[in-house]
Amino acid sequence: MRKLFLAAVFTFLAAMSPPARPQEAPKPATAPTPAASTPHATPSPNDYSNPDFWLCRPGREDACSVDLTTTIVTASGKLTRETWSANPSAPIDCFYVYPTISHQPTANSDMSADPEEKGVIRQQFARFASQCRPYAPIYRQVTLAALRAAMAGTPLASDRTLVYNDIRDAWNYYLEHDNKGRGVVLIGHSQGSNVLIQLIKREIDGKPIQARIVSALLLGASVQVPRGKTVGGSFQHMPLCESAAQTGCIVTYSSFRSNVPPTGDSAIGMAHPEGTVVACTNPAALGGGSGELRAYLSAHGTILTEASARPGPWVTPEVPIDTPFVSVPGMLTAECVSNDNGAYLAVTVHSQPTDARAKDIAGDVVVNGQVLKDWGLHLIDVNEAMGNLIELVREQNKAYTAAHAKL
C-alpha cells in the first residue's frame, strides 16, 4: 500500500508540470506512464475574455463574494465573532491558481465552475480580497480522478500541457486587459503552485514583468534553491522572502506536524533535483525561528472533506458554530526545519488537558480510515497560515506602493 501510494504520488506530481519546450532536446524515454501522456486531439485554447472562465474578477458577484465570518475560539472556550470585508479600492492585484480539487470523472476537468472550485476559493483565496483585487481563472486541471486512478494502478491519460497553457493564456489576458501596470501577488497551492512555478520560470523570472510582482506565494509545492542560498535553483532572479518589507520574492513551504516529520519517501513538497534542496519560508517568522500561525480553519471540514477527518467539537461543552471559519489564537506555532532533502514547515499544536477548546485540528489526509503521513498537513497548508499571509501581503503592498510612488 505504501509503495503503491508513493509511486502514484510521484506519477501524479510529474503531471503537474508541462513537458519540455519544443526547442529543448527531448530526454530519452523508457516506458512512459499513461498519466504523463497527452491525448491525440489538441484541445482549443480558452478565450479568457469570457467572464464565465473566471471564478473571481473585481467588481462583480462571484465565487469571491462569500461569507468569511469567523468564530474566534480561545483556550478558555470563549467565543467571539470576527467579520470581514473586501477592499474594492485595493492598489494591487492577486492572481490565484487553485489546487487539485475537481471531482469530474475525466483526467482533465472542463471549464465549468463546479461546487469544488467555488469551495476552494472560499477556503484559500477570497479572504485576500481585503488586500488586493482578486483574479482566479478556471483551468482544465488534472483531476482527483486521475490521482485516484494512479493510486489504483490504472492511470488515466491526462494532458499536462493543457494545464499550463490555460494558466499562461489567463495570465496573458490579465496582463493585457486588466493589470494596467499594477503590482500583483501570485498565489497557488499544490497543482496550482506547480503551474505557477512553470509560469514564473518561462514568463516572469528575469523579464521586465518581474518588476510588477509584489510576491509569489507558492504553497504546498517544491521550490528549489542551492543549499544555504535564497536564490537559484527554481528561479534565477526571484529570491525567497526574508522580511515583510521585501517585495518581488517567494514564500513557499509544505507543512507537516512537528511530531510526524516527512520521511525520505515523502513526495509532497520534498522532490528536488541534485544540487538543490527544497526551500521553506515560515510565514509566521520570515526572518527565521518559530512564530504563531494565525489560522482560519474551516469550521466543518477541509478543502477535501472526503479525504480528511471532520473537526471535533470546537469547545467543551459543545456549542454550535454558525460561521464558516474558526480562529484558534495561540494554538498553532510553526518553524522551518531542515533535513537531507531541504526544509519543511513543522507545525506544533499547543493544548492543555484543561483547555475548553478542542485539543487538535483536522488537516491530515485520511483514506479508508488511515492517515497518510507522507502528505503531512497538505490539506490546510493555506488555512493554517491565512492570517499571516494576509498580513504579509498587506505589508508588501505598503512597501511596493511606497517604492513605486518614488519612480
- Residues across the chain: 407
Region 16-38 average pLDDT: 37
pLDDT at 304: 78
Confidence of residue 151 (pLDDT cuts 50, 70, 90): confident
On whether the CB atoms of residues 144 and 191 are closer than 8 A, the answer is no
- Give the tens place of pLDDT for each residue, 348-376: 999 999 999 999 999 999 888 889 888 99
DSSP H or E run through 14: helix 2-14
- Give the tens place of pLDDT for each residue, 179-196: 999 999 999 999 999 999
Helical spans, DSSP H, in 227-377: none
The CB-based long-range contact list for 84-91 (8 Å cut-off, 24+ gap) reads 84/127, 84/130, 85/130, 86/129, 86/130, 86/134, 87/129, 87/130, 87/131, 87/132, 88/58, 88/59, 88/133, 90/129, 90/130, 90/131, 90/132, 90/133, 90/397, 91/182, 91/183, 91/397, 91/401
Region 46-63 average pLDDT: 98
> For a pLDDT cut of 70, what percent of the chain falls above it?
87
Distance of CA 78 to the CA centre of its chain: 31
On whether the CB atoms of residues 263 and 346 are closer than 8 A, the answer is no
Cell of 210: 518581474
pLDDT at 39: 44
pLDDT at 307: 72
- Give the tens place of pLDDT for each residue, 258-276: 999 988 766 676 666 778 9
Q: What is the mean pLDDT of the chain?
A: 88
d(CA 266, CA 195): 20
Between 216 and 373, where is the model more confident?
Answer: 216
